[in-house]
């Protein structure tokens, strides 16, 4: 089994972790590849022939290890794409909603993978396209059509399977997967969905009417968002990539043809994760 190692070297906390892990992998005789940009942190522990581009690592490796936070895992997921290679997220960030393990569990996690002692959880993705763009964008979390530089609200005509839903007057509109329901959509008072529920959330951001509420629909539906404001807006993809959208542009969003596969060990369930990451049941009042 060959491991591919991706790392967000912009995070300072990755700097002491990655060389130690790579040295351990080498001593144990594990087969691994390291993304080229991270070689500088590991020095001579990794020969040049084992340092490849992310694209080549995805092609060759059996398992992808992602060192960073949730943002790093989102980036890794887009690199892995339709290859369906399983990803193990290693949390070297703050929240770590998507990542599976902390750095102190690294060695035992690799051993468990070698032994086949893990499961793979499937996460759906969304794809968006629009006329004049000539391409497709894929998101694991969400697409959000938000107002641009202007402080004015935008108006978005929305349809589901060609049927008129609403014209939202708001700061924007989020279309989120179950994975993304705990990201931007949650901050915009959206519902939390269990990660494997086949559904999509349509959630207005700061709507200028109290009757505009988040909506959950089946994942096999097609959503159309048409910007009808005169001001341009911005489409964000997983909060990482931004594309300017001009007025009268219609964005078509549907479930993508491929899913993302995350490695899970079963040591903690989704509800355990919610309690710990969202601090449910804790006294958040300041202690005197």
Q: Residues 99-115: pLDDT tens digits?
A: 888 889 999 999 999 99
- Cα separation values, 46 from 41, 49, 126, Å: 10, 8, 36
Answer whether residue 287 shows pLDDT above 90.
Answer: no
Q: Are 255 and 219 in contact, with CB atoms under 8 Å apart? A: yes
Residue 70 phi, psi dihedral angles, 5° rounding: -65, -40
CA separation (Å) from 170 to 91, 139, 151, 152?
34, 22, 11, 9
Domain membership flag for residue 40: yes
- Please tell me the predicted confidence (pLDDT) of residue 231: 87
What is the distance in angstroms between the CA of the first residue and the CA of the last residue of the chain?
A: 54
Q: Provide the CA 79 distance to its chain's centre, in angstroms.
A: 11
Residues 154 and 235 in one domain: yes
Sheet holding 172-176, edge to edge: 215-218, 199-205, 172-176, 142-147, 233-237, 241-245
Domain holding 130, by residue range, is 126-255
- Domain of residue 217, CATH code: 2.60.200.30
Confidence at 188, pLDDT banded by 50, 70, 90: very high
187: helix, strand or coil = helix
Q: Which entry of 70, 142, 171, 238 is annotated as an active-site residue?
A: 70
Better-predicted residue by pLDDT, 250 or 39 = 250
Cβ-based neighbour number of residue 60 at 10 Å: 11
pLDDT higher than threshold 80 for residue 132: no
Both 185 and 144 in one domain: the answer is yes
The answer to whether position 287 is within a domain reads: no
CA distance linking residue 27 with residue 259, whole number of Å: 34
Tell me how far apart the alpha carbons of residues 282 and 155 are, in angstroms, rounded to a whole number.
Answer: 39
Same domain, 74 and 16: yes
Q: What is the pLDDT of residue 51?
A: 92
Per-residue pLDDT at 281 = 75
In a domain, 229, yes or no: yes
Give the domain CATH number at 74: 3.40.50.10330
Judgement on whether residues 114 and 233 belong to the same structural domain of the protein: no
164 close to 259: Cβ distance less than 8 angstroms: no
Tell me how many domains the chain contains: 2
Task: Tell me if 284 is assigned to some domain.
Answer: no
251-272 pLDDT per residue, tens = 999 999 999 999 999 777 788 8
Q: Report how far residue 100's alpha carbon sits from residue 98's, in angstroms, rounded to the nearest whole number.
A: 6
pLDDT of residue 131: 84
pLDDT of residue 195: 93
Same domain assignment for residues 118 and 90: yes
pLDDT, mean over the chain: 92
Residue-by-residue DSSP string for 104-162? GGHHHHHHHHHTT--EEEEE--EEEEETTT-S-EEESSEEEEEE-SSSS-EEEEEEETT
Residue 282 has pLDDT above 80, yes or no: no
Packing angle, helices 106-114 and 14-28, rounded to 10? 40
Active site residue 70: yes
* pLDDT average, residue stretch 139-149: 94
CB 180 within 8 A of CB 140: yes
What CA–CA distance (Å, rounded) separates 43 from 26? 13
Output b/e per residue, 108-137; b: 16+ Cβ within 10 A: ebbebbeeeebeebebbbbbbebeeeeeeb
Say whether both 167 and 206 belong to one domain.
yes
Residue 194 pLDDT > 90: yes
Residues 141 and 159 in one domain: yes
Q: Could you tell me if residue 285 is inside a domain? A: no
Which pTM was predicted? 0.91
Question: Are 86 and 32 part of one and the same domain?
Answer: yes
Each residue of 37-51: pLDDT tens digit? 888 888 767 888 889
Residue 286 inside a domain? The answer is no
pLDDT of residue 93 exceeding 80? no
Q: Is there a single domain that holds both residue 170 and residue 72?
A: no
**133 and 99 both lie in a single domain:** no
Share of residues in the chain with pLDDT > 70 (%):
98
Average pLDDT over residues 4-26: 93
Give domain status of residue 282, yes or no: no
Looking at the fold, whether 92 and 110 belong to one and the same domain comes out as yes
pLDDT score recorded for residue 95? 67
DSSP line for 235-276? EEETTTEEEEE-TT-EEEEEE-S--EEEEE-SSS-HHHHHHH
pLDDT greater than 80 at residue 283: no
Assess whether 205 and 90 both reside in one domain.
Answer: no
Tell me the pLDDT band of 284, cut-offs 50, 70 and 90.
low
């Amino acid at each position: 089994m060959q491991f591919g190692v991706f790392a967000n070297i912009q995070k300072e906390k990755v700097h002491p972790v990655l060389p130690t892990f790579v040295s351990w992998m080498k001593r144990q005789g594990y087969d691994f590849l390291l993304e080229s940009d991270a070689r500088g942190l590991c020095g001579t522990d990794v020969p040049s022939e084992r340092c490849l581009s992310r694209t080549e690592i995805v092609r060759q490796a059996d398992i992808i290890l992602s060192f960073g936070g949730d943002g790093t895992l989102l980036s890794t997921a887009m690199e892995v794409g339709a290859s369906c290679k399983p990803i193990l997220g290693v949390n070297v960030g703050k929240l770590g909603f998507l990542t599976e393990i902390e750095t102190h569990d690294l060695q035992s996690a690799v051993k468990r993978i070698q032994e086949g002692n893990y499961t793979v959880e499937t996460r759906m993705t969304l794809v968006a396209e629009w006329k004049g763009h000539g391409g497709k964008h894929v998101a694991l979390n969400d697409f959000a059509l938000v107002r641009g530089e202007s402080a004015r609200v935008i108006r978005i005509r929305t349809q589901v399977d060609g049927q008129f839903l609403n014209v939202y007057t708001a700061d924007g509109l989020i279309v989120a997967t179950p994975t993304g329901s705990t990201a931007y959509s949650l901050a915009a008072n959206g519902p939390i969905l269990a990660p494997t529920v086949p559904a999509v959330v349509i959630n207005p951001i700061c709507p200028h009417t109290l009757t505009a509420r988040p909506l959950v629909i089946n994942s096999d539906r097609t959503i159309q968002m048409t910007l009808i404001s005169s001001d341009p807006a911005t489409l964000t993809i997983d909060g990482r990539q931004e594309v300017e959208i001009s007025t009268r542009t219609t964005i078509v969003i549907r479930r993508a043809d491929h899913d993302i596969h995350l490695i899970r060990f079963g040591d903690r369930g989704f509800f355990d994760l919610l309690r710990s990451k969202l601090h449910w049941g804790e006294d958040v009042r300041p202690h005197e």
